[in-house]
Amino acid sequence: MTRALTVSIDAMGGDAGPGIVVDALVRALQRHPQVQFLLHGDETQLHALVSKHPKLQGRVSVKHASGRVAMEDKPSHVLRRGRDTSMWHAIDSVKQGEADVAISAGNTGALMAVSMFGLGIVEGISRPAIATIWPTLKGQTIVLDVGANVEASDEQLVDFAVMGEAFAHVIFGLERPTVGILNVGSEEQKGNDAVKGAAQILRNSNLPMAFHGFVEGNDIAKGTVDVVVTDGFTGNIALKTAEGTARLIGAYMRQSLKRSVLGRIGAMVASGALKTLRRKLDPRANAGGIFLGLNGVVVKCHGGADAISFASAMDMAIDMAKANINVRITADRNAMRAAASQAAQA
């Protein structure tokens, strides 16, 4: 008998503690009634929280882990001494075949290090990257890397493009996603050597993507391309800036609508439209970042995630567990390397 799809969760990661995780499970089970969940952490605390929700009975298992990874812990320290932490156990469950995907709101650097150590990297990929789904005027865009690699060479940016193209294929159902490299301008002569080199490689590739060229920061929200490629330093700053801007706009709107009687009346009249706008501006709707390039599926949730954020990240984790993305990543990267080798010998 085939076991149900299982999500392995670092229940002690993040700033808010395991209570948020359990509340998120209640939400997730409403959308995914066939999925099983495996929680890692303090079993006494977790059993007490799970027992408060009858709907979780029989759907949630708990495995004890005596330690947790703190936000300030160095990845090297976690690799040496963190094997009895909830984060390590969550990744190990995927490695051992007990679960199909792991999710954590813990220390990003430590999670990447533990994931790479435990699961390994897809053949042909030099470095994993964190991808996120970004709301745009046209729908959604995938942006990567948003935090795993502070710097990236031209070859690594090409790897990110391949992984982003594969992600867009399995998540959005696009046969030839459009791909752009984030730059300070759209002109070919602009940018550093890494982005110029990556663009040259991608222009000459024969992958199932439509390479658009360079895109600028404002092109992300426009939805100019399906996949935006950048290094983790730039991508993380862009992501945090967009989230902060969304919160700022939401705060300005609330202040404006409460400022006068007419404003409050207008808010009542337009309540439906305002709810839709609030939902689109809410950063919690796309709270998960997936680690692409690993021999296994790992999703990183924001450290300050609430139950809505964590449940949203679970949605992404479950979708990715159902899609065999690594097969496409491996095939496309190997095909590109073979084509480059043939061109060099010609």
Condensed to tens digits (0 to 9), the pLDDT of residues 249-283 reads 777 777 777 777 766 776 666 666 556 555 555 55
Using the 8-state DSSP alphabet, how is residue 48 labeled? H
Same domain, yes or no: 83 and 143: no
DSSP 234-263: HHHHHHHHHHHHHHHHHHHHHHHHHSSHHH
Same domain, yes or no: 75 and 207: no
Same domain, yes or no: 101 and 57: yes
Please give the average pLDDT of every successive group of 10 residues along the chain, which has 346 residues. 82 87 90 92 94 90 93 91 93 94 92 93 87 88 90 93 90 90 88 92 83 92 94 90 79 76 66 57 62 91 83 85 79 72 65
Same domain, yes or no: 11 and 145: no
Does residue 333 lie in a domain region?
no
Positive/negative CA dihedral, 264, 270, 275, 277: negative
Same domain, yes or no: 266 and 318: no
Same domain, yes or no: 107 and 153: no
User: Which residues is 6 bridged to in the sheet?
Assistant: 36
Same domain, yes or no: 211 and 162: yes
Does residue 309 lie in a domain region?
yes
Distances (CA, A) of 288 to 4, 87, 95, 126, 301: 22, 16, 21, 23, 5
Does residue 43 lie in a domain region?
yes
pLDDT value for 269? 60
Rounded to an integer, what distance in angstroms lies between the CA atom of residue 30 and that of residue 24? 10
Query: What is the domain extent for residue 239?
Result: 126-286
Distances (CA, A) of 9 to 113, 318, 327: 17, 12, 24
Same domain, yes or no: 89 and 144: no
Does residue 17 lie in a domain region?
yes
Contact 233, 144 (CB under 8 A): no
Q: How many domains does the chain divide into?
A: 2
Rounded to an integer, what distance in angstroms lies between the CA atom of residue 55 and that of residue 29? 8
pLDDT value for 110? 92
Which domain CATH number covers 185? 3.40.718.10
Does residue 338 lie in a domain region?
no
Rounded to an integer, what distance in angstroms lies between the CA atom of residue 264 and that of residue 254? 10
pTM exceeds cut of 0.75: yes
Using the 8-state DSSP alphabet, how is residue 47 labeled? H
pLDDT value for 270? 61
